[in-house]
Amino acid sequence: MQKTVSLTVNGKPVSATVEGRTLLVQLLREQLGLTGTHVGCDTSQCGACVVHVDGEAVKACTLLAVQADGHSVLTIEGVATGDTLHPMQEAFRNNHALQCGFCTPGMVMSALDLVKNNPNPTEREIREYLEGNLCRCTGYHNIVLAIAEGAAVMRGEPAPNVYGTAAE
Amino acid sequence: MYEFNYHQPTSLDEVARLLGANEEAKIVAGGMTLVPTLKFRLAKPSDLVDLVGISSLRGITDAGDALVIGAMTRHAEVERSPLVKQGIPALAALAHVIGDPAVRNRGTIGGSISNNDPAADYPAAVVGLGGTVQTTRREIAADNFFTGMFETALDRTEIVTAVRLPKPQAACYMKFKNPASRYAIVGVFVARTGGGVRVAVTGAGPCVFRVPEMEAALARSFTPDAIKDIAIPQDGLNSDIHASAEYRAHLVGVMARRAVAGCG
């Protein structure tokens, strides 16, 4: 069954013809060329494919493209403003919150979902919220620091000096 | 994934018509179990009937002595609902430990109980609270709804519309989760209700079950010590690479005692 879907992706209206079984992540990557959203496990475990649909984090490998018809999708490509990184992306860079980078788009999208619901999360709350995002470089420590910093900057506070050393 | 026809009806009548006309049609609620199942080609429906367009199935209402939760209400909504936090805080806490945040943004209570996964969390709450499942045809007491592994009392074209959960005097859910899948290896829901104490166990067996010996002992003395000598027979319990039946039987006792303590 072919179906034409119309949705908003990163603020722009988009139409595409998909099959019933086309996954949202396939539509984003293969038809719209938005390859920042990754497919890691393809079984809703790893969270590399997390995007926002109508402002809520979802796993794009476990949503059908037709289920996003008429809805608004935000991917990692839509997070920055031009060449200026979003404060959460900047915080990931500041804290070296990645090694290979494969999980990073999903981590950032989950982090933004967390901060939307909980603007001042504790370390424990950050760790709990990342339950559905796997990093196989085992770099969680800096990811948690980055999310705390990103959240602080988004609250309008100065970035916390998490290492206890003078910032350069 | 095999190809199928996707439908998004806006009324329950239309759902019934689609299910009636297509023998191999399947209902999708949040899709957090069904979509992975389709991807593994473990199911091959001709048609997928999505309930997302039926707004009457979504929402939480306070009915005085009970909460009524629409079938399409998502886990994240239950987790954050002031009505649930106030009326049945143990239910909000249970919803908070289902899957992960992205799954909770899509998964629904109606989908969870209709699927009746042996390791799902909601069946323990619905049985533990002595709830009632409302469908397009009737009301089914929780004790009669869950009939076996992935089996319920629902007919093929019958749809869960809401779940009615009486507010308990106190309740607590304790879950020993699989750290990878976040499913319950064992989860125990304990509730003190007007009708007595109820103890419901998920994850341990092929289907949620109650433990009458614990309920009777807790009715006499609602303390963890009251059930410390009650052994759960391991016969018929699940055994897999994650936990043996013997281990699960042991965990039922541990989780039950923690849940009693957690009732405060």
CATH of the domain at B7: 3.30.43.10
* Residue B170: how many other CB atoms lie within 10 Å: 16
Residue A6: inside a domain, yes or no?
Answer: yes
- CA-CA distance, B255 to B216, in Å (whole number)? 17
Contact criterion met (CB below 8 Å) for A134 and A45: yes
Residue B258: inside a domain, yes or no?
Answer: yes
Residue-number span of the structural domain to which A119 is assigned: 87-154
Q: Do B48 and A129 touch (CB under 8 A)?
A: no
| Lookup result for tokens 């603020």 | A11
- Residues A10 and A73 both lie in one domain: yes
- Residues A17 and A56 both lie in one domain: yes
Residue-number span of the structural domain to which B28 is assigned: 1-53
B1 touches chain A (CB under 8 A): yes
State how many domains chain A has: 2
Exposed/middle/buried for B49, CB within 10 Å: 0-12, 13-18, 19+? buried
Residues of B in contact with A21 (CB under 8 A): 1-4, 38
CATH of the domain at A33: 3.10.20.30
Q: Looking at residue B182, what is its pLDDT?
A: 87
Q: Looking at residue A163, what is its pLDDT?
A: 57
Q: Three-state secondary structure along B128-165? A: HCCCEEEECCCEEEHHHHEEECCEECCCCCCCEEEEEE
- Residues A70 and A91 both lie in one domain: no
Q: Looking at residue B65, what is its pLDDT?
A: 97
Q: Is the dihedral of CA A45, A46, A48, A53 positive or negative?
A: positive
Residues of A in contact with B105 (CB under 8 A): 56-58, 113
Q: Looking at residue A162, what is its pLDDT?
A: 59
Residue B184: inside a domain, yes or no?
Answer: yes
Q: Which residue of A has its CA nearest to B35?
A: A62
Q: Do B50 and A132 touch (CB under 8 A)?
A: no
Question: CA triplet A109, A115, A120: central angle to 5 degrees?
Answer: 150
For the record, the structure tokens of B3 come out as: 């190809």
Check whether A93 has a pLDDT greater than 80. yes
A2 touches chain B (CB under 8 A): no
Contact criterion met (CB below 8 Å) for A24 and A60: yes
Q: Looking at residue A168, what is its pLDDT?
A: 41
Structure letter (DSSP) for residue B108: B
- Residues A73 and A138 both lie in one domain: no
- CA-CA distance, B243 to B184, in Å (whole number)? 11
Name the nearest CA neighbour of B29 among B135, B139, B109: B109
Residue A164: inside a domain, yes or no?
Answer: no
Which residues of chain B carry a pLDDT beneath 70? none
Residue B106: inside a domain, yes or no?
Answer: no
A43 touches chain B (CB under 8 A): yes
Domain-ending residue, one of A39, A57, A78: A78
Structure letter (DSSP) for residue B64: S
A140 touches chain B (CB under 8 A): no
Q: Do A20 and B6 touch (CB under 8 A)?
A: yes
Residues B147-183 pLDDT 10s = 999 999 999 999 999 999 999 999 999 999 998 888 9
Q: Do A42 and B39 touch (CB under 8 A)?
A: yes
- Sorting pLDDT into bands at 50, 70 and 90, what band is A138? confident
Check whether A139 has a pLDDT greater than 90. no
Domain-ending residue, one of A27, A46, A78: A78
Q: Looking at residue A166, what is its pLDDT?
A: 41
Contact criterion met (CB below 8 Å) for B144 and B178: no
CATH of the domain at A124: 1.10.150.120
- Sorting pLDDT into bands at 50, 70 and 90, what band is A165? very low
Q: Looking at residue A148, what is its pLDDT?
A: 96
Domain-ending residue, one of B53, B71, B95: B53
Residues B91-123 pLDDT 10s = 999 999 999 999 999 999 999 999 999 999 999
Q: How many contacts, defined by CB atoms under 8 Å, are there between A and B?
A: 76
- CA-CA distance, A61 to B78, in Å (whole number)? 24
Task: List beta partners, residue B139.
Answer: B134
- CA-CA distance, A86 to A103, in Å (whole number)? 17
- Sorting pLDDT into bands at 50, 70 and 90, what band is A161? low
Q: Do A132 and B102 touch (CB under 8 A)?
A: yes
Contact criterion met (CB below 8 Å) for A48 and A36: no
Amino acid at A163: Y
ipTM over 0.90: yes
